[in-house]
Amino acid sequence: MRINTRLCAAAALACALSLIVAVTALAHVQLQAGSYRIALGWASEPTYAGELNAIQVLVSDASGNAVTDLGPSDLQVVVSVAGQTSQPLTFAPAFDQAEAVGTPGDYRAPLIPTVPGDYTFHLTGTIHGQAVDATATSSDSTFDSVQDPSAVQFPNQVPTGAELATRIQSVDARVASAQSSAMLVGGAIGVVGIVIALIALFVAWRARQAKVA
């Protein structure tokens, strides 16, 4: 009975782990590069604007064994959103086999997405000489789009980086307008001062002329 109980527990654990892997895979787009398999997506989901995240790739061979020897120059990703494109980002392992930390084959490129929307990842490079060139955009069938964090903020809502930038631009425009107005007023006052000074000089000159006459 004890053996059966242990076997049942082991089977249940294996089933649970399989479910976890399946759920993780659902949040990533599955790619093929020759004989290598790549799962591409966000490291953390849901993904919120202004929060530190990372582009994640899970790399394995045809037998399902994790590829653990990729270097920083092997893969890179370019991220684009709303007509803007990032510089190429490199990947670093998010695991340490010696310390048995993390999931082997898990590589990440840190990124803070600053605006909500649909993000596109263009993954390029090589895996053991096999070329990689794939593009994927966030969707219901790939990985999450970046969301506005206000829905999960409590008790106060914090403006996003884009909102702060808009406010700063608005303030800068007002300051520039005020400075321009101040310069105009200052110039007008200067002209009036010159006119008054000229009138005073003219009056003084006329007074002297009258005394001489």
- Residues 112-167: tens digit of each pLDDT: 999 999 999 999 999 999 999 999 999 999 999 999 999 898 988 877 666 666 76
pLDDT band with cut points at 50, 70 and 90 for residue 196: confident
Give the residue, 12 or 89, on which the prediction is more confident: 89
Among 83, 84, 103, residue whose Cα is nearest residue 93: 103
Specify the DSSP element, H or E, that contains 146: strand 146-147
pLDDT of residue 70: 97
Tokens of 42: 């966000």
pLDDT of residue 139: 94
pLDDT of residue 119: 98
Please say if the pLDDT value at position 63 is more than 80. Answer: yes
- d(CA 151, CA 143) in angstroms, rounded, equals 20
- Contacts for 117 with CB less than 8 Å, ≥ 6 apart: 81, 82, 145, 146
**Averaged over 98-123, what is the pLDDT?**
96
**Averaged over 101-107, what is the pLDDT?**
96
pLDDT of residue 57: 98
DSSP string, 12-79: HHHHHHHHHHHHHHHTSEEEEETTEEEEEEESSSSEETTS-EEEEEEEE-TTS-B-----TTTEEEEE
Please say if the pLDDT value at position 213 is more than 70. Answer: no
pLDDT of residue 80: 98
**Averaged over 63-91, what is the pLDDT?**
97
Question: Do 55 and 109 form a contact (C-beta atoms < 8 A)?
Answer: yes
pLDDT of residue 113: 97
Average pLDDT, the chain: 84
pLDDT of residue 151: 87
Give the residue, 174 or 112, on which the prediction is more confident: 112
pLDDT of residue 160: 64
**Radius of gyration of the chain, Cα coordinates, nearest whole angstrom:** 33
pLDDT band with cut points at 50, 70 and 90 for residue 5: low
Question: Do 53 and 143 form a contact (C-beta atoms < 8 A)?
Answer: no
Question: Do 91 and 109 form a contact (C-beta atoms < 8 A)?
Answer: yes
Model confidence over 161-172: pLDDT tens digits? 666 667 677 677
Question: Do 116 and 146 form a contact (C-beta atoms < 8 A)?
Answer: yes
